[in-house]
Amino acid sequence: MCPRLLTLPAFDLLGREIGPLTLHSYGVLLALAFLASLWVAGWQARKAGLNSAAISDMAVSVLIAGLVGAKLLLLVVEWGHYSRNPKELFSLVQSGGVFYGALLGALPVALWQARRHSLSGWQTADVLAPAVAIGQTVGRIGCFAAGCCHGRAATVPWAISFHDEYTHRLIGTPLNTPLHPTQLYESLACLLIFAILVWMAPRKKFHGQVALAYFVLYAVARFVIEFFRGDVSRGSILGGALSTSQFIAILMVLGAALIGPYAYKKQRLPPA
């Protein structure tokens, strides 16, 4: 774990020291995740014969909306904690947020931008799905570096321990305790999903198939990984039987199952 890449003294215009200037690993990797997503979106747009410039413009708006949505859902899920500790609201700036909040924030913006640029909604969704997956792949490495989204105590050979007091104070990550590296579990799962979606894109039977496949694959992966998560106060459903993320994962799979036949009927492609 390396939450801080660089720490330098900071001074005001009068030369008075105003505190350290810290470059956080999570912020750097989040920026790299954005760049990777933008590149993949443009690449997939060109392969699909869509306007890559319009897709790139859309991707920027979608990524920003997703970031805001992720933090807002984190605030909702952990409202009890933040309402009791209002000073910690500033920690939202450094936290990754809840990914499903990113989806909820990004989807309406993506639909609006698709209409604005006269793009097919389903085709655009197919282009953006691999971009989201690669962004998650890199972003979860940022979570690992920061120590957030950590796993529960583990005895497996690949368990990892965190030792940085800074992260413990900021996020509450357990120190000197072997934990499941759930951040890396999800990063590897998203990398596999990305590879599947890129392979599927030129072979799809209907517009929307790639996007729906993403929703199902990610929901299944997230549902399983949630059993190994150890960070508390993330919300629960049915008296604690399911986490909020697991409940949303079930809804995603059910939604894809309902929408899939309709998309296949309306967006079916002619045989190659």
Q: For residue 188, give both structure tokens.
A: 């590897």
Q: Alpha-carbon distance 242 to 33, whole Å? A: 29
199-243 pLDDT tens trace: 999 999 999 999 999 999 999 999 999 999 987 656 667 767 788
Q: What's residue 7's pLDDT?
A: 64
Q: What's residue 198's pLDDT?
A: 97
Contact yes or no for 193/218 (Cβ under 8 A) = yes
Chain centre distance of CA 165: 26
Residue 220, CA atoms < 13 Å, CB-side half-sphere:
9
Closest CA to 130 of 203, 37, 50: 37
Closest CA to 186 of 231, 134, 248: 134
Q: What's residue 87's pLDDT?
A: 56
Which pTM does this prediction carry? 0.82
Per-position b or e across 191-219, b if 16+ CB within 10 A of its CB: bebbebbbebbeebebbbbbbbbbbbbbb
Q: What's residue 57's pLDDT?
A: 77
Closest CA to 106 of 84, 132, 138, 83: 132
Angle 71-122-125 from CA coordinates, rounded to 5°: 35
178-199 pLDDT tens trace: 999 999 999 999 999 999 999 9
- Sites in the chain below the pLDDT cut of 50: none
Q: Which residue has the tokens 């989204």?
A: 149
